[in-house]
Amino acid sequence: MTVPPPPPGGRKWKVAVLGATGAVGQTFIRLLANHPWFELSEVAASQRSAGKRYTDAARWLEGEMPPVVANMQVVSCDPSEVKATIVFSALDSGVAGDIEEAFAKAGKIVLSNARNFRMAPDVPLVIPEVNADHLGLIDRQRVERGWTGAIVTNANCAATVAAVALAPLHQRYGLDKLFLTTMQAVSGAGYPGVASLDILGNVIPYIADEEPKLEREIRKLLGRLEDGAIVNGSFEVSAQTNRVAVEHGHTVCIAASFHDHPTPDQALAALREWKGDESTFSLPSRPEHPIAVTHSADRPQPRRDVDAGAGMTVTVGRVREDPILDLRMVALGHNMIRGAAGGSVLNAELLAVTGRLPAA
C-alpha cells in the first residue's frame, strides 16, 4: 500500500461539511474521516437537524458511521456558526445558492456539489484531471464579487462521467457532435429520493432538469480558459436521461463525431494513454488511472465496475465504430464518489497543491 503524501505545509486543514446529514454529505464524511490532508471538525445541516448529535440527526445509509462524527453536534448552515475556513457543500440546491454565497462572503472556501453556481462565468466548474487550469477563475471571482472567499463547483454526476471519458478524445481529435444517453442510479436522487414503488423493476425516462444540465455543463467542463473566461467547447450535444433501478453508478452511452475522425483503435489508445493534468499526480484522492478501459464485451456494469479506483475511476468499454457518427462507447462512474463528494475532495486537494488554501 502506498503511503499518502503529507499535507502541503505540514498541517492538516480543518474542514466542515454543509448538508452533512444527506446522501452526499454522508459520502463526504466517509471520505474525510481518515483523510491525510483534511480533518473533519464540524457538520452542519438544516434547522431540523441543528442542535442534535450527528448520530441522532442523520439516517446513516452505508456501513458504519465513522466514530469521529457520531457525537458531533450538528450546527446550522450559518457562517458565524462554522469555524473552518474550508467547507464542503452537499446542500440541496433549493437552499445552496444563498448559503454558499454567505459563506464565500464570510471569507470561506466553498467546494460545492450543488447546481446553483456551476454555470456562473466567474465560478470554476472543475474535474482536476480534465480542466485544472479553470481554477484560475477564482481571481476574477474575488475581484468581481468583492469577497476573499471562493466558490469552486463540481459538475452534475452524469456530466462528470461523460466528461472524463471524452476528455482524452476531445483533446486529441476535437469533438463535433455528441449524443449522450444515461442510465442513472437511484442514489443520484438523494435520500429518500425516488419512491421504491416507482423504481423497483422499472425505468423512468425523466429526471427533472437533468438533460439541460448535462448539455450545458459538459461544454463548460471541456472548454478552455482564455483571458480570464471560459470558452465553452464548440461541439453540439444532445442528452437523454433515465433513472434505473441501480443503487450506485451512472452509465452513459455515448455516440460522437470528431473533427479528426479517430478510428476505434486510435480512440482506445488515446483513452489508455491519458493520464490527466500533471498537477493532479500527487493528489491523495486521484486514482492511479482516472480512466480504465475494459475490453469485455458486456462491461462496464455498475455491479462489477462502480468501485474501480475506490469510486474515482471512470470505466470505459464497448468502444466501436458508429454507423452514423464516428464512435460509440459506454462509460460508467460512481455518482456519489467521482460524481459528487470524491470530486469535491479532489478539487480541494488541487487547491491545496496549487497554493490556493490559506495556511492550516
Ligand X SMILES: NC(=O)c1ccc[n+]([C@@H]2O[C@H](COP(=O)([O-])OP(=O)(O)OC[C@H]3O[C@@H](n4cnc5c(N)ncnc54)[C@H](OP(=O)(O)O)[C@@H]3O)[C@@H](O)[C@H]2O)c1
Q: Which of 35, 77, 157, 248 is catalytic?
A: 157
Among 7, 22, 276, 342, binds ligand X (CB under 6 A): 22
Q: How far is the CB of 13 from ligand X (least distance, A)?
A: 22
Q: How far is the CB of 175 from ligand X (least distance, A)?
A: 23
Select 214 or 357, whichever has its Cβ closest to ligand X.
214
Q: Is 284 in the site for ligand X (CB under 6 A)?
A: no
Q: How far is the CB of 339 from ligand X (least distance, A)?
A: 5
Select 28 or 274, whichever has its Cβ closest to ligand X.
28
Q: Is 90 in the site for ligand X (CB under 6 A)?
A: yes
Q: How far is the CB of 246 from ligand X (least distance, A)?
A: 12
Q: Is 170 a catalytic residue?
A: no
**CA 17 vs CA 1, 7, 86, 192, 314: distances in Å:** 28, 19, 9, 20, 25
Q: Is the peptide bond before 300 cis (omega within 30 degrees of 0)?
A: yes
**Dihedrals phi, psi of 218, to nearest 5 degrees:** -65, -30
Nearest one of 306, 319, 344, 315 to 254, comparing CA atoms: 319
Nearest one of 135, 291, 159 to 222, comparing CA atoms: 159
Question: How far, in Å, CA of 234 to CA of 231, rounded?
Answer: 8
Q: Is 77 in the site for ligand X (CB under 6 A)?
A: yes
The residues pairing with 17 across neighbouring beta strands, listed in sequence order, are 43, 88
Question: How far, in Å, CA of 113 to CA of 30, rounded?
Answer: 16
Q: How far is the CB of 266 from ligand X (least distance, A)?
A: 32
Q: Is 75 in the site for ligand X (CB under 6 A)?
A: no
Is residue 175 within 8 A of residue 231, CB to CB? The reply is no
> How many other β-carbons are positioned within 10 Å of the β-carbon of residue 11?
12
Q: Is 218 in the site for ligand X (CB under 6 A)?
A: no
C-alpha cell at 355: 497554493
Identify the helix (H) or strand (E) that includes residue 93. helix 93-105
Residues 118, 122, 123, 128, Cα dihedral to 10°: 110
Q: CA torsion sign, 191 to 193 to 195 to 200?
A: negative
Among 86, 110, 114, 194, binds ligand X (CB under 6 A): 114
Among 78, 92, 176, 307, binds ligand X (CB under 6 A): 92
Q: Which of 35, 170, 248, 250 is catalytic?
A: 250
Question: How far, in Å, CA of 329 to CA of 138, rounded?
Answer: 35
Q: Is 259 a catalytic residue?
A: no
Helix (H, G, I), strand (E, B), or coil: what is residue 296?
A: coil
Q: How far is the CB of 267 from ligand X (least distance, A)?
A: 27
Site residue total, ligand X (CB under 6 A): 29
Q: Is 166 in the site for ligand X (CB under 6 A)?
A: no
Q: How far is the CB of 91 from ligand X (least distance, A)?
A: 5
> How many other β-carbons are positioned within 10 Å of the β-carbon of residue 46?
16
Among 16, 23, 194, 255, binds ligand X (CB under 6 A): 23
Stretch that binds ligand X, among 22-30, 78-86, 254-262, 314-322 (CB under 6 A): 22-30
Q: Is 19 in the site for ligand X (CB under 6 A)?
A: yes
Question: How far, in Å, CA of 256 to CA of 266, rounded?
Answer: 14
Q: Is 336 in the site for ligand X (CB under 6 A)?
A: yes
Q: Is 339 in the site for ligand X (CB under 6 A)?
A: yes
Stretch that binds ligand X, among 13-21, 124-132, 281-289, 322-330 (CB under 6 A): 13-21
Q: For binding to ligand X (CB under 6 A), which residues are involved?
A: 19-25, 45-46, 48-49, 77, 90-93, 95-96, 113-114, 157, 187-188, 190-191, 335-336, 339-340
